[in-house]
Structure 1
Amino acid sequence: MKVIGLSGRAGCGKTLTLNIVYHELKKRGYEPVSGMLADLNNGDFLDILYNGIQTIGIVTQGDWPAGPYSLHGYLERLRANGCFKAICACRTKGGTKNSVKQYPDHTILRKTIVEGTVEDENIANRHDLSLILEKA
């Protein structure tokens, strides 16, 4: 499974960006796989999308490297459910980043951080969206 991790510090907007990615994939013809959506609390979720050709999993919670809510466990759930690719959030260093690196075919992209207006944040999110979709 190819894993694309969006890395950044806590609260920097990774979940928002991955929500944008999720909705863009749906606009491009990916459909949620029935019964796979999981609410992970705090606005985070896990889901699997399929477009008739390939299966992509998304998990927005990337804060814990171990335990019942671990990124490693979520990525393994996506792999076990046939995901060809996974898009996830991870921290800039440590356990969750290492969870992404465990997969031989992985890419880690740094979340674009801006200090400014809402429009500046929207531009940064669109930039990150294009980078993620380019890798997916």
Structure 2
Amino acid sequence: MKVIALRGKPNCGKTWTLQKVHELMQEKEFKQVPEMYKDLGNDDFLDILEFNGRRSGIVSQGDYAKDHQSACSVKSLLRWLCELGCEIAVCACTTGETKGRIQAAINAYPGHVYIDKQVANSPNDYEEVNTQDVQIILSKLLTMLG
């Protein structure tokens, strides 16, 4: 499985960006696989979608959701997507001094690519910067799918 990881510090807009990627995937004819959408708490989610018969997974949780019933590591979530036949997974990767295991889990997939989350200079730039990241991720995903 190949992995596209949106990498950034906590609270920099990774979840919002991946929510928009998820919405646009559906607008671009990606079809949700029935009963695969999971609420991971803290506005995070996991879903599997198909495009031309090929599965892609997306998970916005870049860290443990410790206060939610489905608390799970990024490593476990990626393994689950792989086991369910996803060729590509789009995920979040939270960075910081205590977050090395998250990046190590992503690095375990030879086809991984990091996209560093752009940070807005002001609240007025938030949506524009995140939308640019959405386009970068979608472009990379569609290129990987050929």
TM-score of the pair, normalised by structure 1 = 0.92
Letter in 2 for 1:18: L
Q: How does 1:1-136 map to 2 (within 5 A)?
A: 1-64=1-64, 69-92=72-95, 94-118=100-124, 120-136=125-141
Letter in 2 for 1:60: S
SS of equivalent residue, structure 1 residue 133: helix
Letter in 1 for 2:140: K
User: In 2, Cα distance between the equivalents of 1:57 and 1:71?
Assistant: 13
| CA displacement, residues 46-92 of structure 1 (integer Å, 9 cap, x when unaligned) | 1001123321100111114xxx5100000011001110100000123
User: In 2, Cα distance between the equivalents of 1:117 and 1:135?
Assistant: 27
Question: Which blocks of at least 5 consecutive residues in structure 1 are unaligned?
Answer: none
RMSD, aligned α-carbons = 1.2
User: Structure 1 stretch 26-35 or stretch 88-97: which is displaced more?
Assistant: 88-97
SS of equivalent residue, structure 2 residue 39: strand
Aligned equivalent of 2:68:
none
1:4, distance to aligned residue in structure 2 (A)? 0.4
Following superposition, which runs of at least 4 residues in structure 1 exceed 6 angstroms of deviation? none
Question: Which blocks of at least 5 consecutive residues in structure 2 are unaligned?
Answer: 65-70, 142-146
User: Structure 1 stretch 20-29 or stretch 46-55: which is displaced more?
Assistant: 46-55
Count of matched residue positions in the alignment of Structure 1 and Structure 2? 132
User: In 2, Cα distance between the equivalents of 1:38 and 1:4?
Assistant: 19
User: In 1, Cα distance between the equivalents of 2:140 and 2:108?
Assistant: 18
User: In 2, Cα distance between the equivalents of 1:48 and 1:84?
Assistant: 11
SS of equivalent residue, structure 1 residue 58: strand
User: In 1, Cα distance between the equivalents of 2:87 and 2:116?
Assistant: 22
